[in-house]
A and B are shown apart, each in its own frame.
Chain A
Amino acid sequence: QVQLQESGPRVVKPSETLSLTCAVSGASVSSATHYWSWIRQPPGKGLEWIAYMSHSGSAKYNASLKSRVTISIDKSKNQFTLTFNSMTAADTAVYYCARVDGAHSGLGIKFDYWGQGTLVSVSS
């Protein structure tokens, strides 16, 4: 069974850098079939896609966040990481990691497995 688990700080100060890790079990981040993604949800609001990366290291970013975000994969640990710099209060959100399926299916991508999410608050 595929499982994803986010880990990282619950609180960061304004202007600091956030680093979140997603540990994957039941699947391999080295798989050529799937991509690996981060999505966030401010409290009481909707979902915003942040980025995804393939096993080969090819990454796509949301243009509105691209200047502040980096996604990376660690195949030896079967995990992937989000780095988000210059955090502000507007970045307070639940951050989810998710597996991307269907990138080569011709049916469009879908987020088929999600982590439970981790709430990150930006506060001094």
Chain B
Amino acid sequence: DIQMTQSPSSVSASVGDRVTISCRASRDTSKYLNWYQQKPGKAPKLLIFAASSLQSGVPSRFSGRGSGTDFTLTISSLQPEDYATYYCQQSYITPPTFGGGTRVEI
């Protein structure tokens, strides 16, 4: 299985800050990398697919970059509704695997 490692595990930030989360795969996943946002008690929500494509309806302050083994999710200007846990997920090979999550908090 491909192991996905996210860093940091948590980050403290203020409204308006630029926040960047990293995700590293244990082997090459090309651009088969998705990002999800999960709020407490809720299901994950797809934000970014194929490393950099914005899912329909997701605000443009979210962006993704990377290929191979190293990927980033950036929130350009943090909004109050963005406080959540973010997960990366590779879909290069089965089983699809998720990172351990990064909590964005005040």
Contact = CB atoms under 8 A, between A and B. Distances in A.
B55 A112 contact: yes
A96 B96 contact: no
Contacts of B36: 111
The size bracket of the interface on B is 20 to 34
Contacts, number: 59
Interface stretch (B12-20, B61-69, B98-106): B98-106
B71 interface: no
A68 interface: no
A47 B98 CA distance: 6
Given A46-B101, A47-B44, A96-B43, A107 B95 contact: no
B interface secondary structure, majority? loop
Contact of A108 (B43, B55, B92, B101): B92
Contacts of A47: 44, 87, 89, 98
Contacts of B96: 49, 109
Interface residues of A, number: 20
B7 interface: no
Interface of A: 46-49, 60, 62-63, 96, 98, 102, 107-112, 114-117
Interface of B: 31-34, 36, 42-46, 49-50, 53, 55, 87, 89-92, 94-101
14 contacts: A46-B99, A47-B87, A47-B89, A63-B95, A102-B49, A107-B31, A107-B50, A108-B32, A108-B33, A108-B49, A108-B90, A110-B49, A111-B34, A116-B42
